[in-house]
Amino acid sequence: MGIFSTNKETVDISGIKLPEHVGIIMDGNGRWAKKRGLPRTAGHKQGAETFRKIARYCSDIGIKHLTMYAFSTENWTRPVQEVETLMRYFKDYLEEALRDFADDTIALRFLGDISRFSPELQELMIKNETLSASHEGMILNLAMNYGGRDELVHAFKEMAKKIQSGELAPNDINEKLVSDYLYTKGQPDPDLIIRPSGEHRTSNFLLWQSAYSEYYIDDVLWPDYTPDHLNRALIEYSKRSRRFGGV
């Protein structure tokens, strides 16, 4: 933890209390490209580079859990060419992660139903999770083919199966049990959720887990997002009083 400098400014986060779990809704790639007269795919390419930079920075400053919203259950409705381009970028990143994370401390996990992805992508995801499982540094959750409602439906179906088989009784169901059936099982709920691009909505992201998360909205589009933007969010978070419904 310390000072991160850019040519424009220096944002000092020395001594602040960091959130344990940060969620980021990566938003604005398409608008970034449109403003420059470029195809949407150009925005996704730049957004992928920003993702790499921010993920690495979070690990370096000591964030313990980072969840990045990469591809939602609704994103399949986008133009075919755009979806295919995103899949190529995912493949490139996962292949890169296999190389770079081999001697790293980051543990990579995937949130969502990965069965819809190609067999090649599924294999890369499983390899990355398996090979990085023993790493003791930051847990990087990639939400892919993820939706908060879909996650809850999946959890309820799994609990229903256990009730049907007699392994679980309806009275056993409580908040902790529901959390144990979510993709984030074993991880703390996000303390801070950041949404670049200026939009003020959750977009079906971590609906159960974000019940008491602090939100920070930033007007910058994701491809232009920098560690300094993140630092400002972290400073703002450190000033907030979290009461969790109390006084």
The residues annotated as belonging to the active site are: 27, 75
> For residue 246, how many other CB atoms are within 10 A of its CB?
5
DSSP string covering 29-92, please?
HHHHHHHTT--HHHHHHHHHHHHHHHHHHHHHHT-SEEEEEEEETTGGGS-HHHHHHHHHHHHH
Which pair of tokens denotes residue 185? 């099982």
- Radius of gyration for the alpha carbons in the chain, expressed in angstroms and rounded: 19
Q: Using CA atoms, how far apart are residues 228 and 60, in angstroms rounded to an integer? A: 14
Beta bridge partners of 61: none
Q: Using CA atoms, how far apart are residues 194 and 234, in angstroms rounded to an integer? A: 10
Q: Using CA atoms, how far apart are residues 224 and 213, in angstroms rounded to an integer? A: 24
